[in-house]
Amino acid sequence: MAEKGRAPLARTMLQQCLHARLQVREGDEHLKAQFVQINRGMVIYVCFFKGATEEILPKMVSTLLNLQLCELPSGKMTSVLELPGSVLIIPQATLGGKAKGKAMQYHKNIGKEDGLQLYSTFVSLCEKELMAAIGVTGREAEVTVKHGTYGNRQVLMLDTNGPYTHLIDF
Amino acid sequence: MAEKGRAPLARTMLQQCLHARLQVREGDEHLKAQFVQINRGMVIYVCFFKGATEEILPKMVSTLLNLQLCELPSGKMTSVLELPGSVLIIPQATLGGKAKGKAMQYHKNIGKEDGLQLYSTFVSLCEKELMAAIGVTGREAEVTVKHGTYGNRQVLMLDTNGPYTHLIDF
């Protein structure tokens, strides 16, 4: 979806899941590790590049949540909004890497502060759109948006009936 | 790694795992479903585009297996060959998709027969390189290459301490 002739401002990777569980806070001697989880739905891994601004977010969210990537029992495809399914958003800066020899370089990735700001707004917009869709269908039981903690190690357990991995640049 | 100025001939997506289990044959009333699994190592999702030939495979395999993406307890990064870790290869044609409106299109994906041929050779080369590396290090316990069945639904269970998702085009 990135406009032709310009480098992407954001990269997303999508996987379908039956269940996914993500650590949002590491455990230590005082506190147990904390996790979020979703059942049937879509995992969105997201990375922003230098130059990305909030302007791109509404189109990103609308595109990702409306893409027909989810399989119905009939074999027909539908979107996560229409399913409706849940969404797990995982910040994934490594997606912006480029191989140089044996090492990965991340020169094009956005700075941490700007990245966190974009990530937070991206999560909010996804929540807003999914909640609006649930309102329309009236099927709200356990459909939810969960998300990882920006900058953390993303300890993930994914269970899928076919990840159907898709790459979408913006 | 794709040469500048030309469209990619292959797309790979890499994720680090502690354990991964993939269905290689669906169950039915007569036979149980069959699975392969690996412990610590790397999952390689792979997709070939039109125009890809066996010529690109040695460089692909060498690049992917030598990239320093695996974390040592010290925090230092190393390759799956040096770790040594296992490799799970998953054919993933959806990686070649392009969003057009709400649907994905796969016009650039290679044909099934050529894709299967490239996939099979890719798997063999990975096996050969990993086995050679294990010979060198002498640490062979349970280090292995496993792979999904081309054209199947890829029923996957992934457990990771941080997927560190990387996209590498060739």
- Mean pLDDT, each 10-residue run in order, chain A (170 residues): 81 98 94 96 98 98 97 93 95 97 97 98 97 74 92 96 97
How high is the pLDDT of residue A137?
62
Residues 6+ apart with CB under 8 A from B14: B42, B43, B44, B45, B64, B67, B69, B164, B165, B166, B167, B168
Provide the pLDDT confidence category of residue B88 given band limits of 50, 70 and 90. very high
Q: Span B32-47, mean pLDDT? A: 97
Q: Does A68 contact B104 at a Cβ distance shorter than 8 Å?
A: yes
Question: Is A76 buried (19+), middle (13-18) or exposed (0-12) by CB count in 10 A?
Answer: exposed
Q: Does B13 contact A13 at a Cβ distance shorter than 8 Å?
A: yes
Q: What is the percentage of chain B residues whose pLDDT exceeds 70?
A: 94
Q: What is the pLDDT of residues B103-123, one digit of tens each?
A: 999 999 999 999 999 999 999
Provide the pLDDT confidence category of residue B141 given band limits of 50, 70 and 90. low
How high is the pLDDT of residue A148?
98
Instruction: Number of A to B CB contacts under 8 A, please give it.
Output: 103
- The residues on A that touch B, with CB distances below 8 Å, are 1, 11, 13, 45, 63, 66-69, 77, 79, 90, 92, 94-95, 97, 99, 102-104, 153-168
How high is the pLDDT of residue A59?
97
Q: Does A13 contact B155 at a Cβ distance shorter than 8 Å?
A: no
How high is the pLDDT of residue A5?
76
Asked if residue B159 lies in contact with residue A89, where contact means CB atoms within 8 angstroms, the answer is no
How high is the pLDDT of residue A119?
98
Is the model's pLDDT at B87 over the cut of 70?
A: yes
Residues 6+ apart with CB under 8 A from A165: A13, A14, A15, B13, B45, B92, B94, B95
Q: What is the percentage of chain B residues whose pLDDT exceeds 90?
A: 89
Rounded to the nearest integer, the mean pLDDT of chain B is 94
How high is the pLDDT of residue B49?
98
Residue A136, both tokens:
């329309």
Is the model's pLDDT at B137 over the cut of 90?
A: no
Is the model's pLDDT at B1 over the cut of 80?
A: no
Q: Could you tell me which residue, A69 or B138, shows the higher pLDDT?
A: A69
Q: Does B164 contact A11 at a Cβ distance shorter than 8 Å?
A: no
Asked if residue A44 lies in contact with residue A128, where contact means CB atoms within 8 angstroms, the answer is no
User: Which of B69, B77, B94 is facing A165, going by the closest CB pair?
Assistant: B94
> Burial code of B21-54, b = ≥16 C-beta within 10 A, e = fewer?
bbbeeeeeeeeeeeebebebbbbbbbbbbeebee
Q: What span, in angstroms and rounded, lies between the C-alpha atoms of A102 and A111?
A: 24
How high is the pLDDT of residue B6?
87
Q: What span, in angstroms and rounded, lies between the C-alpha atoms of B113 and B131?
A: 27
Chain B residues inside the 8 Å CB shell of A161: 153, 155
Asked if residue B37 lies in contact with residue B21, where contact means CB atoms within 8 angstroms, the answer is yes
User: How far is Cα of residue B123 from the mean position of the Cα atoms in its chain?
Assistant: 8
Is the model's pLDDT at B46 over the cut of 80?
A: yes
Q: Does B157 contact A153 at a Cβ distance shorter than 8 Å?
A: no
Q: Span B141-145, mean pLDDT? A: 87
